[in-house]
């Protein structure tokens, strides 16, 4: 039984790997638009030697330090959405690409720190409540022993990836990430409610099919006469 599960898991991993390769290939070719192409090139760049000399990690650490300092000053209510927090961001010069401009940065790559910094404790409570709800929904979906659970499991996996990437991406400020989150949550909730309604409907149909039989009067051949009852 355990070996069979490992074989199934291996097949799933192979299919997911193939799907990822095809998606990256299509994105690099521009099939998913400019955003998809940029995302694929960004992912490919992580495997190149130039990534070792890239200073983006240092920049993000500075963002995190500034955000933590701001959180210490305003831990409860935050400072308000998209307000600057002491970081100067580099902006490409629209006239000469060899120069850069610097101005107050109003975004942060660590989305969870940004959530706390801008929304305060209410923002942290909201994301915590969402995480607990997703864990509970995931447990209920995994308890379903049919192939119908594969689609919602895939949606849950997508939300997990989105949550992990939010630790180093500006998903809190990125509208496509908001769209992906909303669609994923809506699909999972709709699937679960539809399944519950289907189970209730089947139970009602079975109940109506059994009820007439319970109330059905016996036919003449099954009726006992008073003489038969006495004997």
Six token digits for residue 131: 């995480």
**Locus of tokens 């330090």:** 65
Least confident of 3-12, 55-64, 178-187: 3-12
Write down the mean pLDDT value for the chain: 78
pLDDT of 118 strictly over 70: yes
pLDDT, tens digit, 9 for 90 and up, residues 135-175: 888 888 888 877 778 888 888 888 888 888 888 888 888 88
The Cα 209–Cα 27 span in angstroms is 54
pLDDT of 218 strictly over 70: no
pLDDT-derived band at 221, boundaries 50, 70, 90: low
pLDDT of 177 strictly over 80: yes
pLDDT, tens digit, 9 for 90 and up, residues 64-88: 999 999 999 999 999 988 788 888 8
The Cα 136–Cα 85 span in angstroms is 35
C-beta separation of 149 from 204 below 8 A: no
CA distances, 39 to each of 27, 71, 159, 207 (Å):
8, 30, 18, 54
DSSP the chain: -HHHHHHHHHHHHHHHHHHHHHHHHHHHTTTTHHHHHHHHHHHHHTTSGGGGG--HHHHHHHHHHHHHHHHHHSTTT-S-TT---S-EEEEE-SS-TT-EEEEE----S-HHHHHHHHHHHHHHHHHHHHHHHHHHHHHHHHT--SGGGHHHHHHHHHHHHHHHHTTTS-GGG-HHHHHHHHHHHHHHHHHHHHHHHHHHHHHHHHHHHHHHHHHPPP-GGGPPPHHHHH-
The pLDDT of residue 129 is 93
pLDDT of 121 strictly over 90: yes
| Mean pLDDT of all residues in 40-48 | 65
Six token digits for residue 129: 């409540």
Least confident of 34-38, 83-87, 118-122, 125-129: 34-38
pLDDT of 38 strictly over 90: no
The pLDDT of residue 229 is 47
pLDDT of 227 strictly over 80: no
Six token digits for residue 61: 């650490």
In terms of pTM, does the model score above 0.95? no
pLDDT of 102 strictly over 60: yes
């Amino acid at each position: 039984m355990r070996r069979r599960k490992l074989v199934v898991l291996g097949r799933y991993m192979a299919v997911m790997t193939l799907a990822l390769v095809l998606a990256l290939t299509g994105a690099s070719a521009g099939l998913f638009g400019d955003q998809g192409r940029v995302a694929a090139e960004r992912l490919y760049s992580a495997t190149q030697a130039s990534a070792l000399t890239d200073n983006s990690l240092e920049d993000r650490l500075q963002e995190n330090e500034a955000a933590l300092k701001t959180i210490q000053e305003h831990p409860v209510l935050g400072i308000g959405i998209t307000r600057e927090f002491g970081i100067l961001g580099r902006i490409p010069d629209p006239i000469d690409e060899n120069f850069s401009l610097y101005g107050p940065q109003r975004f942060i790559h660590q989305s969870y720190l940004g959530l706390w910094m801008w929304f305060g404790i209410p923002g942290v409570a909201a994301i915590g409540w969402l995480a607990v709800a997703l864990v509970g929904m995931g447990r209920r979906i995994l308890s379903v022993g049919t192939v119908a659970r594969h689609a919602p499991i895939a949606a849950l996996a997508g939300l997990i990836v989105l949550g992990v990437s939010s630790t180093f991406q500006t998903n809190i400020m990125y509208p496509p990430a908001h769209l992906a989150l909303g669609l994923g949550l809506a699909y999972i909730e709709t699937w679960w409610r539809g399944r519950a309604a289907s189970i209730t409907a089947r139970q009602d149909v079975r109940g109506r099919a059994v009820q007439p039989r319970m109330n059905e009067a016996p036919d003449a051949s099954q009726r006992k006469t008073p003489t038969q009852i006495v004997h």
